[in-house]
Amino acid sequence: MNILITGGAGFIGSNLARELSSEGHSVTILDNLVSGYLRNLDALDVRFVNGDIRRLSTLPGIMDKVDIVYHMAASVGNKRSIDDPICDSDVNVLGTLNVLEAARMSKVPKVVFSSSAGIFGELKTLPISEDHPCEPDSPYGASKLCAEKQCLVYSKLYDLDCVCLRYFNVYGPNQRFDSYGNVIPIFVFRILRSQSVTIFGDGEQTRDFVNVRDVVQANRKSGMKPRVSGAFNVGSATRVTINHLIDLIFEASDIRPSLQYAPPRAGDVRDSLV
C-alpha cells in the first residue's frame, strides 16, 4: 500500500513508519521537524518531505495514489496549548481540515486521525467509554475534539472513511523528554542524571499508560480495515499513580530520586483509565 504519515518524524509517527515500512509498504513522511527529528527515521526505507499541514498547497501532490493517510502532525500537550492557544488551534484544527480536504480532493479512501483522551477533560466515571461526555480542560483538548468532529463529518459527507484514535498516556522509544514530553521519559531522563523530579499535585493522581507498540497496532489495524469509521479509545485498561511510577523507576534503575512537589497544573486531570 501507499501510505502517508503526517508528523511521521515524531514519536508515534516514527514508530508507525518503522512498522509499516518493515512490512513492505511504500511510506511517505510529511513533517516540518518542529517537534520531530530526522534521526527517528534513520535506517528506515521511507520517503521524507519537509512540509507543513498548515499549507494546503503542499498536500494534494503528495497524496496522489495514497491508500491511507495517518494524520499525526499536531501541536501536542496541555501546557503548550495554554502557552500558545492560537498556534494550537492553527495546527490541530485548520491543519487537520487541510489534510481532510486534500484527502478528499485526491480521493484517498482512508484517514486515521491521532486524537487524545484530552477531549474528555476531568473524568466523571472510571473506566471511560467512548460515549463519555467531552468537556476538555485545555485548548489542546478542545482543538483535538474539534478535529475529531471534522473527521467524522467528512466521513459522513464524502467518500472518505475516517477513524479517530483517542490516545491515553503513550510511552516508548523516540519520545521527547523536555517539558512537552510524557512524564515517563522526563522522569527517567532526570533520574539518570541525578536531577530532582517535580511532581505536580500530591502524586496520587492516576494515568493509563499505554506502550507505543500497542498504539502502532491500533493505527495499523484501523487503517487496513476497509469501510470503518468512528472514534475509539486507545489505552491499557490499567492505571498507575505518579508516586508508584517513581517507585517502579527506582526498582528498575536502583536510583532513588530527589522529589519535589508543586501545585497541580492547569489542564491536568486527576484520573485516567480506559
Q: Is the CB of residue 42 less than 8 Å from the CB of residue 83? A: no
Active site residue 37: no
Return d(Cα 122, Cα 117) in angstroms, integer: 10
Residues paired with 48 in a beta bridge: 29
Cα–Cα separations (whole angstroms), residue 49 to 1, 6, 155, 234: 18, 10, 27, 28
Return d(Cα 153, Cα 214) in angstroms, integer: 27
CA proximity to 194, closest of 262, 258, 260:
258
What is the SS3 string spanning 66-95? CCEEEECCCCCCHHHHHHCHHHHHHHHHHH
Q: Which of 37, 70, 140, 180 is catalytic?
A: 140
DSSP state of 266: T
C-alpha cell of residue 17 = 513508519
Residues recognised as catalytic: 140
